[in-house]
């Protein structure tokens, strides 16, 4: 019995020693230093469609030097560059985020910055804006580190020319055998000349809610009764794709099943979408 007790005692001591060694071998993050961000430009950012391919901004930042119990980390650090409007404090759900792996520098062109402002931050091209940028570093599951903030004032994005020329007379219709109207009749007879006319949302955006009968095809025309200035699909499906201004086939594909659909035509991007309601 004494031998058994001695054996159990020795075994427990051995396990305790192994456990302590395992605890000692665990690696812990001891911390890091927030990146310091610098910029090749201060003040404002001159924006112009004519210089869209030129480099306008280079950002550099320091390595946060994450320290573990084993020393300085050799793991790859992930950086996220954030662009936001001044005053939003990077809480804007539309803020632009650019991920950079390992490197501590990134250069942007005029076109890239303009795209961030127009298409991500959704800023008005007729006004000037104040924007700011910072870098966030992260590694593993550690809490992120935030750099200093650099601000740019009175930045005015430029309006990008539409990819497809919008209707000259600011009118747009659908015509074809995908609808309840008499097939490909052009001019479109009443009452379909009203029912099949798009609503102009903006100079480059048109929308139409219309009944489709399932199957068939259609085209977009600028003038009721005129084929020569039509638009037709270049790529895509009945649900959406790209189009161009040209009197040519193929037309757009009708929805496969009957129902009410919303057709959206975006001349700025040269894309269309069709959604069943």
> Which residue ranges make up each domain of the chain?
29-155, 173-276
Tell if the pTM clears 0.75, that is, is over it: no
Q: Which H, E and C letters describe the chain, residue by residue?
A: CHHHHHHHHHHHHHHHHHHHHHHHHCCCEEECCCCCEEECCCECCCCCHHHCCCEEEEEEECCCCCEECCEECCCCCEEEEEEEECCCCCCCCCCEEEEEECCCEEEEEHHHHHHHHHHHCCCCCCCCEEEEEEEEEECCCCCCEECCCEEEEEECCCCCCCCCCCCCCCCCEEEECCECCCCCCCCCCCCHHHHCECEEEECCEEEEEEEECCCCEEEEECCCCCCCCCEEEEEEECCEEEEEECCCCCCEECCCCCEEEEEEEECCCCEEEEEEC
Residue range 161-189, pLDDT digits in tens: 898 999 999 999 999 999 988 889 999 99
Residue range 21-54, pLDDT digits in tens: 444 456 556 678 999 999 999 999 999 999 999 9
Of the pLDDT bands very low, low, confident and very high (cuts 50, 70, 90), residue 130 is very high
Q: Which CATH architecture best describes the domain 173-276?
A: Sandwich (2.60)
CATH match for 29-155 among 2.60.40.10, 1.20.120.1200, 3.40.50.720, 3.40.630.40: 2.60.40.10
Of the pLDDT bands very low, low, confident and very high (cuts 50, 70, 90), residue 135 is very high
Residue range 222-245, pLDDT digits in tens: 999 999 999 999 999 999 999 999
């Amino acid at each position: 019995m004494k031998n058994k007790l001695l054996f159990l005692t020795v075994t427990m001591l051995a396990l305790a020693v192994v456990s302590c060694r395992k605890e000692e071998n665990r690696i812990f993050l001891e911390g890091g230093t927030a990146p310091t961000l610098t910029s090749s430009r201060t003040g404002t950012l001159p924006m112009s469609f004519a210089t869209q391919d030129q480099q306008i901004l280079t950002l550099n930042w320091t390595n946060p030097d994450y320290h573990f119990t084993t020393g300085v980390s050799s793991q790859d650090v992930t950086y996220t560059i954030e662009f936001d409007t001044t005053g939003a404090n990077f809480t804007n759900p539309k803020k632009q985020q650019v991920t950079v792996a390992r490197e501590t520098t990134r250069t942007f062109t005029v076109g890239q910055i303009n795209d961030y402002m127009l298409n991500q931050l959704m800023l008005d091209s007729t006004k000037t804006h104040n924007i700011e940028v910072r870098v966030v570093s992260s590694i593993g599951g550690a809490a992120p580190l935030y750099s200093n903030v650099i601000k740019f004032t009175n930045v005015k994005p430029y309006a990008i020319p539409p990819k497809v020329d919008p209707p000259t007379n600011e009118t747009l219709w659908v015509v074809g055998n995908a609808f309840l109207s008499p097939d490909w009749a052009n001019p479109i007879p009443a009452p379909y000349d009203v029912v099949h006319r798009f609503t102009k949302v903006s100079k480059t955006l048109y929308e139409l809610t219309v009944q489709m009968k399932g199957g068939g095809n259609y085209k977009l025309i600028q003038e009721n009764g005129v084929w020569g200035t039509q638009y037709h699909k270049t790529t895509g499906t009945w649900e959406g794709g790209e189009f161009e201004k040209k009197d040519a086939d193929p037309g757009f594909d009708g929805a496969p099943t009957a129902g009410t659909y919303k057709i959206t035509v975006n001349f700025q991007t040269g894309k269309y979408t069709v959604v069943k309601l």
